[in-house]
Amino acid sequence: MTLFATPWTPDTFEMALLAAAVFGLLGIALLALGFKVFEWITPKLHIEEELGKGNVAVGIMIGAVILGISLIVLRAIGG
């Protein structure tokens, strides 16, 4: 019994394109889900309203949150 699974590699170019599309869509869906969870745990922060006022700090924070979630999704999907 091995501790880690063997990595999957596509056999053909078409399978590689399909895998890239599927994993790309999965990554985008997980990123959107992570952002919705962030909005859910911060109910007093009205992001669209604050960005409309020109609040740069909220914009920087949202950018950092998206990058952080993206790194987590990258490690979850990419291994």
Q: Would residue 78 count as lying in a domain? A: yes
Q: Would residue 7 count as lying in a domain? A: no
Q: Would residue 4 count as lying in a domain? A: no
* Number of structural domains found in the chain: 1
Residues 7-42 have pLDDT tens digits of 778 889 999 899 889 988 998 999 999 999 999 999
Instruction: Give the model's confidence band at 60: pLDDT under 50 very low, under 70 low, under 90 confident, else very high.
Output: very high
Concatenated DSSP letters for 15-74?
A: HHHHHHHHHHHHHHHHHHHHHHHHHHH-TT--HHHHHHTT-HHHHHHHHHHHHHHHHHHH
Q: Would residue 49 count as lying in a domain? A: yes
pTM for the model stands at: 0.75
Range of the domain at 69: 45-79
